[in-house]
Amino acid sequence: MTPSPDDLSFASATKLAELIATSEVSSTEVLDHLLARVERLDGDINSVVTIDAEQAHVRATQADEAVVAAKSGGPALGPLHGVPMTVKDSYSTAGMRTTSGAPELSDYVPTEDAWAVTAMRDAGAIPFGKTNLPIWAGDLQSFNEVFGTTNNPWDVSRTPGGSSGGAGAALAAGFTPIELGSDIGGSIRLPSHMCGVMGHKPSYQIAPGHGHIPSQPGMFTMSDLAVYGPMARSVDDLELQLDLMVGPDRWDTPGWSLNLPPARTTDVKSLRVATWFDDERCPVDPDVRVLLEGAANALAGAGARVDDTARPGFTLEKVASTFSQLLMAALSGGFDRARIERFASDESDTPHGRDRRATAMRHRDWLSLHERRLQMRKSFEDFFTDWDVLLLPVMARTAFPHDQSFPQAVRMAEVAGKEVPYMDLTTWMAPAGCCYLPATVVPVGVASDGLPVGIQIVGPYLHDATTLAVARMLTEVIEPIGPPPGFE
C-alpha cells in the first residue's frame, strides 16, 4: 500500500529508507513530494533557501535503479538509501551553493562536500536543498542579507532560533526528515527547542567539522566549543545520523579509533535522573518550568529515580560566566588585528563592552578560563558517578519575537515579565557547552502561548548513547506534540 502524503511529510528517515528499499515508495516520489511541499508551504517560513532539484532527481533516479539491482544480487543499500534531505547552509555541498549567510559567499559553489555531508551521501541520502541561518552562523536567530528572515512555523512573528533555525523550521514543517546542525553556543539545541523538534549536541571532537563554514572555505581550524551533530524528529534518526557522523578528523585518521560506551541503561526503572530547572542566575518562565517538571515526573512515574536538588558542585553563574568568555574567544578567529585591538580597548561596563574584551582576551587569560573549565569537567565527572543524566532547560522561555537590532549586545529579551540581556537566553547552554558534554533535546509539550518547549538531557563526556537512550525513554512516557498548526 502506497503511503499517504502525510506519512511522507512526517515519516522518519529510517522509515523512508525502509519504504524505499522495499519499493513501497520510490526515492523519486519522496523527493517530488518534499519539493512540492516546500513550494506550497515555505513561502511564509523561508527555511529552504537553495534548491537543486535537477541533481537531486538524477540521484533519486539512480537510487531507484539501485533498489531494483539490489533485489537481483546487486550492491547492498545504505541505511539512508534514497532519502531526500536538506542541509544547513553552513555545510559545504559539492555543486550546490553554500553561503553561510554571508554576502561575500552569495555565489560560492564548493567543489567538495563537508565531511558530514559526505557521510550522509555515503549512507545513500540525497541532499536537495540548503536551509537558512544567520551570517556566519553567529546569532540566536536566522536572518541575513542574502536570503532574508526565516520565521517559526509555530508563529511567524517569532524566530525559529539560530544558528540552525532554517533546519529546525524545515523539520517542524515537514520539508525534510533529517538535518545537519552545528552548535557552538546552542545552535542545535536552541532551534530544536523553539521549533519543537529533536537535536543532539555530541561530545566535543567526536564528529569532525571539515568543510563547515565558518571557518572560511579552505581553512582547517576547528573552533573551541564547536560541535557538529544531527537534527531530526525521531530518536532513531538522531542515533543513525550520529553513528554516521562520528569519526576522526583529517589529522587523526591514521591512528584514530573510538569506542563510545553503550547507554548506561535502557531500563527506565534503573535510571538515575538529576534535574536543575531553575536558578536565580537565569530564572525560567513558569510556563516552561511546568512542562519540564511534567517530563521529569513522567520519568519518575515510570520508575526512574529523580532528584531536583543534586548539583554538579559549581554554580550556574560560574559556568555561564566561563562559557560566555570562552565563546567570545572562540568566535574571534576571523577577526583582524585592528579589530581585536579596538575591542581590547573598550572599557565600557556594558554587555557589549564585556563581550568585546572577552573576544580580544590574551592567551594567558584564556588558559586561566580553560583551567576553570577543566575543574568543572572534573566536578561533572564526580557528579555522574551518582547520576546518569542531568535534565536542564534549553532556554528560559519559548521562541521570542524577531529582533534584528545591531549589535546583538544591545538587544533585550523578556522572560517571565522581566527584561534580560539577549545573550542571557544562552545561559542554560553553558553547562554542556563549556564542559564538552553531550546533550540531547526533545520536545516535552506546548506552552500556553502555543509554542513548543524542549528539554535538555545532559550526560557524561562520551556517553552520547546514554542521553539518546533517555530521550527515547522520554518519548515513550510523554505525549508527542505533533506538527505546527497548518502544517499537519
CATH number at residue 10: 3.90.1300.10
Give domain status of residue 402, yes or no.
yes
Residues 136 and 162 in one domain: yes
Residues 31 and 142 in one domain: yes
Residues 79 and 175 in one domain: yes
Residues 240 and 278 in one domain: no
Average pLDDT of the segment spanning 36-50: 98
Residues 246 and 287 in one domain: no
Residues 244 and 275 in one domain: no
Instruction: Kindly report whether the global pTM for this prediction surpasses the value 0.85.
Output: yes
Q: Which of 12-21, 211-220, 275-284 has the lowest mean pLDDT?
A: 211-220
Q: Which of 255, 289, 309 is the last residue of a domain?
A: 255
Residues 284 and 217 in one domain: no
Residues 132 and 241 in one domain: yes
pLDDT band at 409 (very low <50, low <70, confident <90, very high): confident
Indicate the number of domains in the chain: 2
Block residue for cell numbers 524505499: 20
What mean pLDDT is reported for the chain?
95
Residues 372 and 443 in one domain: yes
Q: What is the pLDDT of residue 349?
A: 77
Does residue 306 sit in helix, strand or coil?
strand
Block residue for cell numbers 555545510: 91
Q: What is the pLDDT of residue 330?
A: 87
Q: What is the pLDDT of residue 2?
A: 62
Residues 243 and 289 in one domain: no
Give domain status of residue 448, yes or no.
yes
Give domain status of residue 488, yes or no.
no
Rounded-to-integer distance, Cα 436 and Cα 158, Å:
30
Q: Which of 220, 255, 290 is the last residue of a domain?
A: 255
Rounded-to-integer distance, Cα 90 and Cα 133, Å:
8
Give domain status of residue 355, yes or no.
no
Give domain status of residue 25, yes or no.
yes
What are residue 307's phi and psi, to 5 degrees? -135, 130
Side-chain half-sphere exposure of 176, counting CA atoms within 13 A: 29
Give domain status of residue 193, yes or no.
yes
Cell of 9: 511529510
State the amino acid at position 227 in one-letter form.
V
86 versus 351: which is more confidently predicted? Answer: 86
Residues 225 and 328 in one domain: no
Q: Which residue range forms the structural domain that includes residue 109?
A: 5-255
Q: What is the pLDDT of residue 35?
A: 98
Residues 297 and 233 in one domain: no
pLDDT band at 344 (very low <50, low <70, confident <90, very high): low
Give domain status of residue 295, yes or no.
yes
Give domain status of residue 341, yes or no.
no
Q: Which of 226, 255, 284 is the last residue of a domain?
A: 255
First to last CA, the chain: 21
Q: What is the pLDDT of residue 316?
A: 98
